[in-house]
Amino acid sequence: MSLIDPWTLKDNPELLEQVERASTRYVAHAVHNMLDLASEQFASMNALPRGTSTSDTANYLGEDLTRMALDHIGTSRVPGGRLFGAIDYKAAVLQFLPEFAIEQALFVDSKAEKGSYNNCRVQITQTSMIVRQTVAGVDIAIPGLVDPVWTAGGHVYLTSTLFVKYHYGATGLRSVTVAALPHAFVQDKYNPSAQDDIWNVGPNAPTLGESFRTRLNFTKLETKAPWRIQRMIPGQPWEFRD
């Protein structure tokens, strides 16, 4: 089985989504396997010393749990492949599907937040899409800063970004959402215009010199493709939703 050139997927969105679906299945199953441990760890935050930042602790905990979950299962790696960047978890993956194989730069970002069960923050440095949405009555189009195809060390990777969002409350972990951010090559399906989008207005503050950010709306995305949003609750059965 030979490797296919990621650029060929620009004209074959069905094959591209096969890759992203397989990645979503991998991440979701890995996180679900760690769900009991995640629940225990988030419950232990109630014993934090007074003055400790709960939000910072939750974010660090989420990052560690996701890394443990993915490393525990493991995946096929590109020999000698190395990736660099600010995203929590990154892996040069050899993705094998029934009809083809491809080299993939898999980026997984973890987030933890009280409430906000239907969205997660997205930095423009985490997406290859053009973010088209309406902000304060104005239609905007901000290009993502992730290359849709990334060449490094003699390898040519399809880039894929997923998020693991840990939703917690006063009593501990409430639920976890795994979200697969669409690739730039399927822009027209998921975000063709500012009026047809998958976003909420983000928390960025340009007047403070902050880079542009937005929020991925889980409901909007799962309406277009249910498999891109996987929700799981500790102690309850879960199956991958196609």
Domain total in the chain: 1
Backbone conformation region of residue 116, classed left if phi is above 0, alpha if psi is from -120 to 50, else beta: left
User: Is 36 within a domain?
Assistant: yes
For residue 179, is it within any domain? yes
What is the residue range of 97's domain?
6-116+147-187+228-232
Residue 122 lies in a domain: no
Residue-level pLDDT, tens digit, the chain, 242 residues: 589 999 999 999 999 999 999 999 999 999 999 999 999 999 998 656 555 668 888 999 999 999 999 999 999 999 989 888 778 899 999 999 999 999 999 999 999 999 889 999 999 999 999 999 999 999 999 999 999 999 998 999 999 999 999 999 988 999 999 999 999 999 999 999 999 999 999 876 555 567 789 999 999 999 999 999 999 999 999 999 99
SS3 34: coil
Q: Determine how β-strand 213-217 pairs with β-strand 119-123.
A: antiparallel
Strand partners, 105: 92, 159
Rounded distance between C-alpha atoms, residue 130 and residue 141, angstroms:
6
Q: Tell me what percent of the chain is helix, strand and coil, each rounded to the nearest 5.
A: 35, 35, 30
Is there a domain that residue 165 lies in? Answer: yes
For residue 109, is it within any domain?
yes
Beta strands in the chain (DSSP E): 89-96, 101-114, 119-123, 130-135, 138-143, 149-152, 155-169, 172-181, 199-201, 213-217, 229-232
Pairing of β 199-201 and β 101-114: unpaired
CATH of the domain at 98: 3.40.600.40
The single residue listed with the structure tokens 């849709």 is 148
Confidence (pTM): 0.94
Beta partners for residue 91, in sequence order: 106
Question: What span, in angstroms and rounded, lies between the C-alpha atoms of 79 and 155?
Answer: 10
Q: For residue 222, tell me if it sits in a domain.
A: no
Domain for residue 33, yes or no? yes
Domain-located, residue 51 = yes
